[in-house]
Structure 1
Amino acid sequence: MQSIQSSRPLFGGALSAALPHDVTDISELREIPDNQEVFAHCHTDQSLIVEVLEFQEQVQDEDAAKYHFEDIAGSNKALGPGALEVTSLVALPRSELSMSQCRSAWMLTGTQAVAKFNESARNTVTVHVGLFRLPQFTTDLLVTFNDPLSISPDSSSSAAAVEKQSTEAWTVQDFHRLLQSLTLHDPGLFG
């Protein structure tokens, strides 16, 4: 069954994108930094994050997605042997994107071994990163899809893992549609 998606305003309407079904806006539950929009699946432990970041001038376009993936790994404390791995990196054809202002766009897929809430139990999470490079706005626009691959039975997320098996979880196709539909309406977002 295909996920039903609707275009949703982001950052007060400065951006919009087609988000997948069963989305919960995390800003309604807790405070989120101004440079992020964070969404979680209503029944699984999956999440989507849209982030406005400073353009990393020192990193070439083809290496920038890996740079941000490793930065996410640091934030997730997914460090050490076997804690992170890049499995694919592809350029997204600009002709297939609504974000016409980007110089280049990339999608990286990898895995990270992470713990939630500083627990000792580590979960293996597939992390899909979409990166839009916007040097004219000194911005890297990062979209992250966190999709738990295996959940430790000792993790606080173990109940969500059971739920994911019986629920229509988000797919990589949902993430591709989000990336393709991401549209900039107001460059004032970037300052």
Structure 2
Amino acid sequence: MQRAAGGAPQSHPLFGGALSGVLPHSIVDTSELREIPDNQEVFAHKHTDQSLIVELVEYQAQVSDQDAARYHFEDIAGSNKASEPGAFQVTGVVPLPKSDLSLSDCSSAWMLTGTQCVSKFNEEARNTVTLHLSLLRLPQFSTDVLISFNDPQSISPASSSAASAGTHREPWTVQDFQALVKSLTLHDPGLFG
């Protein structure tokens, strides 16, 4: 985790400073390596195959709050080509108390945990990834904020990720992910148009 003098976690600007949040240690801003869509901030761990994504997506008014995290998880599974039977599974969905969040504008917040069997770069080899997904709903801005933490559990020997699979030095934890979710702060509502 980034620390300011005195050891307190330091907030990191997101989306040009319109949002901010506490990011874990050993981050690489993926936009410095490849093109990232404007609605995403993507960070990779320097030494593991873990990643964190903050994404702004269209608010899904037709989906109830308690089903919205699952809806987005299944959408991500489709994008990851993990939508066939058995390729993804939700293991839990719980509400997050708004009192625990810095983003007080959200109408509701949810945490989902699940797994997906995904391939990297359209490879044949598939890796099992635990996906921690937080959903912060902002209907007044027609936006759902998704924060996802991809934590590989098993890497296929045929995957391009296999070379780094044995080098898990200080991997991120669920607590690191939760620190980002809880610290996410809105500074400029103009971000949402």
* TM-score (norm. length: structure 1): 0.96
Q: Using the alignment, how far apart are the partners of 1:103 and 1:157 within structure 2? A: 38
Are 2:66 and 1:62 aligned? yes
1:177 alignment partner AA: A
- What displacement does 1:6 show? 2.8
1:80 to 64, 76, 84: 84
For 2:6, the equivalent position in structure 1 comes to none
- Give CA deviations for 1:102-129 in whole Å, capped at 9, x if unaligned: 0000000000000001111100000010
| 1:3 CA drift (Å) | 8.2
How many pairs does the alignment contain?
A: 188
**SS at structure 2 position matched to 1:98:** coil
Give the structure 1 partner of residue 175 of structure 2: 173
Partner of 1:101: 105
Matched residues in 2 for 1:169 and 1:159: separation? 16
Summarize the alignment of residues 115-130 of structure 1 with structure 2, pairs less than 5 Å apart: 115-130=119-134
Q: Which amino acid in 2 is paired with 1:19?
A: L
Deviation at 1:81, TM superposition (A): 2.2
Contact 1:3 1:174 in 2 (8 A): no
Unaligned stretches of 5+ residues in structure 1: none
Q: Does 1:14 pair with 2:18?
A: yes
Q: Which of the residues 155, 159, 172 maps onto 1:155? A: 159
Which string of whole-angstrom CA distances, capped at 9 and with x for unpartnered residues, describes residues 105-162 of structure 1? 0000000000001111100000010100000000000111000010011110012211
Q: Decide which moves more: 95-104 or 73-82.
A: 73-82
CA distance in 2, matches of 1:29, 1:7: 22
Give the aligned partner of residue 182 of structure 1: 184
8 Å Cα contact 2:2-2:22 kept in structure 1? no
Structure 1 segments, 4+ long, off by >3 Å, are 2-5
